[in-house]
Chains A and B, each alone.
Chain A
Amino acid sequence: MSIGTKRMLTGNKAMAEAIRQEMERDPNVFVMGEDVGVYGGIFGSTEGLFERFGPERVRDTPISETGFIGAAIGAAAEGMRPVVELMFVDFFGVCMDQIYNHMAKIHYMSGGSVKLPMVLMTAVGGGYNDAAQHSQTLYATFAHVPGLKVVAPSTPYDLKGMMISAIRDDNPVLFMFHKALQGLGWMDPLDAAIGPVPEEPYTVPLDKAKVVREGSDVTIVGIQMMTHAALAAAERLATDGVEAEVIDLRSLAPLDKTTILESVRKTHRLLVVDEDYLSYGMTAEVAAVVAEEALYDLDAPIRRLAVPDVPIPYSRPLEQFVLPNAGKVYEAAKQLVAR
């Protein structure tokens, strides 16, 4: 698909293209995970790779997450560059020791002598009634442990550029992609799931937030789906005469404090929106950073919007009640600017 000279790709194709180009460039890059072969990944992240590289470099694994994520760690320590998939982030429980105690800590515990150049990619997000064990984002759970770079891109352009950066990075990167932004045929079709993606390889830094809309009245910080919710809310706010500045965090760890603080110093108001649980989450971290470093720049208390502290319920009215969306962001921002 192309519009003018710009080639348009869905999120999943952008990711798969990044992995393909890195596999072509570097024979140490290989892929492992459940259904990443013929199936191309449940969420399309490895589409076409099996046909291109075959079963040696695109390995379907048994349902043995501790085994194959641990094996990726072992292979990375030997100089391979595995890209390994945990199908849904919610399944972290069966392999968290490998992620939290090994992938995140070996470089540090070895005094920097062991490198783990690996990418763990995983699907996050709800909104399609997949209930409590298949709908979480768990951003904060992983951003909390020192030693992992944790990124969560929200556009096809960033999915490709950040995946290439992640594969080339010498540190373990947890690469979270949002199911609804993959552009899959069986999900609610969203405009945000398709976008311009250059054909040639390029990188996008893993430690920079992005101001995706400039404004003077309130800063709204979001990530992935919540960036898009914030953008939609900002359009509505603009018709009320309120100009919101929207920041797409892109990376949870490291956190780009500079971009957040610069924005808050300009707008004097902060709303943080998250598809993860409220307590101890990303919203708390961003709020704490601003409270510590820019409290006197604020004209109103910080506002947070996130999933209330309950598991994601199945039934549509229940799930819609707990998930933030553009309408809720709009309401919260309206209240905030009125203070």
Chain B
Amino acid sequence: MAIPVEKLKWMYETMVKIRIYEETMVSVYAEGKTPVFNIGAGPVPGEMHLAAGQEPVAAGVCAHLRPDDTVTAPHRPHHHAIAKGVDLRRMTAEIFGKETGLGKGKGGHMHLFDPAVKFSCGGIIAAGVPHAVGAALAAKMQGKDAVAVAFIGEGAANAGAFHEALNLAALWKLPVVVVIEDNRYGISVPKEASTAVASNADRGSAYGIPAVFVKDNDVLATYEAAGEAVARARRGEGPSLVEIETYRYLGHFQGDPEVYRDKGEVPALRDRDPILRLRQHLLQQGLVSEADLADLEARARAAVEDAYQFARESAYPRPEAALEDLFEPAPADVQLAQ
């Protein structure tokens, strides 16, 4: 299958945007946390899970999605959010805890909600899988051809919610694709110490659904595998499972001492960087020029810089706003104040 050049360029730009976004976050997150690291200090406090290295998963899958398709993401959500087209300014403002953020500063980096493009994420492992199944159920009941994609890590594929949701999706033949990002680790625990099978693709047969394993963080192979799964869902033929081997360049969270892996591991992974590999492919095939790529890179960088600037310049919410948004409409008689 020849991938349309426009799609290739979109994937390249998306991957570059994600990388720049995450690398910028590395330094922004460190602000106020040096010389003494304190997780609650600086303009971006709290836990921070970044996805540098994992761009092919988000770009290769979301290249097949429309704004009315649903995506649920886990605690490491920026790459999925960017590839799904979440408002970058409001997402960044949310991560800075500003009132212009997607959740007016109430959610933070693990809890981003952008209903306009049907994106959500959360901090409880595997919880998004049943949500995607429900979105697929809604699409089916409403007679729409929208699909839902749940992204989770390979560690999450050992949680009950994943298995229960897969069975439901298969039983009701729902238009959902479950995408597992195998970045080898669930925090400190390597896949072989957490998962009884080498590949989660082996688990598809337990639910009678097609499942594939995509090797080596390859965006083109990911694009193809995801394309088949999404098309199958859109045709009403039911769910699929796609596991993608990918790499996590950074710690589980920023500040992770990474005692569980070899110091040489990440440099070796970076030598096979998926963005550079796509770049080379595009040039070697003569699909784009250096100048084209420079344009895409510049556009990606500008979008990221604009989003960070917007976030920095936005105001913090009023403290009392903490008491708002619990119910719709806000109750008059419930005592919320201290």
Contacts and interface: CB of A to CB of B under 8 A. Distances in A.
B322 A63 contact: no
A132 interface: yes
Nearest to A324: B338
A330 B322 CA distance: 22
Contact of A63 (B103, B158, B326): B158
B159 A310 contact: no
A319 B321 CA distance: 10
A63 B124 contact: no
B282 interface: no
Contacts of A317: 97, 316-319
A232 B93 CA distance: 35
Which size bracket describes the interface of A in this complex? 35 or more
A195 B321 CA distance: 38
A309 interface: yes
Interface in A304-332: 305-306, 308-311, 313-322, 324, 328
A188 B38 contact: yes
A22 interface: no
Contacts of A308: 322-323, 336-338
Scoring B110, B161, B259 by chain A CB atoms within 10 A of each residue's CB, the highest score goes to: B110
A42 B252 CA distance: 11
Given A34-B189, A128-B40, A129-B46, A318 B106 contact: yes
A109 B155 CA distance: 35
B238 interface: no
A129 B108 contact: yes
Given A128-B40, A314-B108, A62 B326 contact: no
Contacts of A314: 46, 94, 97, 103, 105-108, 111
B236 interface: no
Nearest to B105: A315
B188 interface: yes
A101 interface: no
A332 to B, nearest CB: 9
B110 A321 contact: no
A186 B252 CA distance: 14
B317 A134 contact: no
B186 interface: yes
B316 A316 contact: yes
A100 interface: no
* Dominant secondary structure of chain A at its interface with chain B: loop
Contacts of A309: 326, 334-336
B125 interface: yes
B156 A63 contact: yes
B107 A187 contact: no
A60 to B, nearest CB: 5
A103 to B, nearest CB: 17
B97 A62 contact: no
A130 B46 contact: yes
Nearest to A64: B158
B320 interface: yes
Contacts of B159: 63-65, 94
Given A63-B125, A94-B161, A188-B38, A131 B108 contact: yes
Contacts of A91: 124-125
B207 to A, nearest CB: 18
Nearest to B123: A133
Given A133-B110, A133-B111, A35 B189 contact: yes
B337 A321 contact: no
A34 B105 CA distance: 30
Interface string A285-311: 000000000000000000001101111
Nearest to B152: A63
A336 interface: no
A90 B124 CA distance: 9
Interface string B67-79: 0000000000000
A319 B97 CA distance: 10
Nearest to B260: A38
B47 interface: yes
Contact of B45 (A128, A278, A306): A128
14 contacts: A37-B189, A39-B188, A62-B155, A64-B160, A131-B106, A131-B110, A133-B122, A133-B123, A189-B38, A306-B338, A309-B326, A313-B105, A315-B316, A317-B317
Interface of B: 36-41, 45-47, 94, 97-98, 101, 103, 105-108, 110-111, 122-127, 155-156, 158-161, 186-189, 193-195, 255, 259-260, 316-323, 326, 334-338
Given A42-B187, A63-B156, A309-B336, 13 more contacts: A62-B158, A63-B155, A128-B45, A129-B46, A131-B110, A133-B122, A188-B38, A189-B38, A313-B106, A315-B97, A318-B319, A321-B322, A322-B322
